[in-house]
Homo-oligomer: A and B are copies of this chain.
């Protein structure tokens, strides 16, 4: 791996020298020999002047594949396309796979988009317009319309022949989507299966008819789950009349899976972990709103404790265990939160599982509370030679853990029910909230033993 990075780096610096020294021929050869991804990484390292040189040397369709590898959030599409002349930019867009071109155009305003689409061949422009119309986080937003579609009455031999035509434009030629006269999706076949049949066989006698497809408005997470389950590398997308409208390929799904994971992780920590730039001011300004919000939630806890100042001044020993109880309950709440969020995002039959998860967490909370409470009862009893104090701390710990545990699973469930992303309930939120409930529980239980604490 380290070797590979070194090779790519060397290659890139050599290429940059060729570009700036205008060794056009050698540059073209080296550039075209590189993988599209490496071309993309090289491109990202160029400044505006160098990019302009590149556009002079390379034809639009020679850099289209490279643009296919660039992620929407890595580049400023409006800026890059704006640097090219209008015709060149249009040709670059036209030579990209249409799902990627649409992703790039997504960031532009409507008038900019129209300028490019007007110059494009009518059919291509219409396809792009169609794709731009879908919500980016649905199957429609992920799909491409560059796929192999064949009529069901074709023979295997004819299908093989027409694949040669598709090989230039389709995003994948390894799955053939088979439709009837009215463009209804009726079958599917892999190129591999095609190989195993006689050239004379008709497609609709050999194709698989049990086709798994997704609807154009299905959420991207659902699409990703079908890919995971069925181990597909591409998946047809249909409208609600079961007409084939596009296909989703695995490369786009991997991005979804990565983003999903990043997102869940960020939310659990209460921070956007994708702080790609290293500017501390920006980082701080991103993290502060959440911290300050929680600070005010924490202030409620402080206010609550201040109501018990009389009790505290009489029994300062109580202050010793505040952070132990709030901390432990917070940890337990974070655990049950993480389990609940994960289960809600992967579960399919919410309603059925909801009660199951809740009653499970109910019992788990009691068990964890009992064991932890009993442990701290013993520890405090022995440490302070005082088992009544141990009992108060243990009891408070038990109830606080039980409540935090339940809150950790209830809150994401409620959010889910209300149509919010359950992961919005972050770890810091649950632990700050559980500080509040824990303190309330702790001091109320301690108050019951008021007589005992007086004079301690």
Residues of chain B within 8 A (CB-CB) of A231 are 37, 69, 251, 254
User: Interface centre among A261, A269, A280, by most B CB within 10 Å?
Assistant: A269
Asked, given contacts A265-B261, A271-B339, A342-B265, whether A327 binds B432 with beta carbons under 8 Å apart, the answer is yes
Residues of chain B within 8 A (CB-CB) of A356 are 278
Flag whether A427 is at the interface (Cβ < 8 A): yes
- Chain A contact-residue range equals 35 or more
Query: Taking the nearest CB of chain B, how far is it from the CB of A25, in angstroms?
Result: 19
**Partner pick for A335 among B287, B312, B367, CB 8 A cutoff:** B287
**Partner pick for A294 among B174, B328, B336, B371, CB 8 A cutoff:** B328
26 contacts across the A-B interface (CB closer than 8 A)? A4-B212, A35-B230, A37-B230, A37-B231, A69-B231, A167-B192, A260-B261, A261-B261, A265-B265, A265-B268, A268-B427, A269-B338, A269-B339, A270-B335, A275-B339, A278-B360, A280-B362, A283-B360, A288-B371, A290-B335, A291-B331, A295-B376, A298-B323, A298-B324, A327-B431, A427-B427
**A residues adjacent to B (C-beta < 8 A):** 1, 4-5, 33-35, 37, 69, 163-164, 167-168, 173-174, 191-192, 195-196, 210, 212, 214-215, 218, 222, 227-231, 233, 250-251, 254, 257-258, 260-262, 264-266, 268-271, 273-275, 278-281, 283-284, 287-288, 290-292, 294-295, 298-299, 301-302, 305-306, 309, 312-313, 316-324, 326-328, 330-332, 334-339, 342-343, 348-349, 356-357, 360-364, 367-368, 371-372, 375-376, 379, 427-428, 431-432, 435, 439
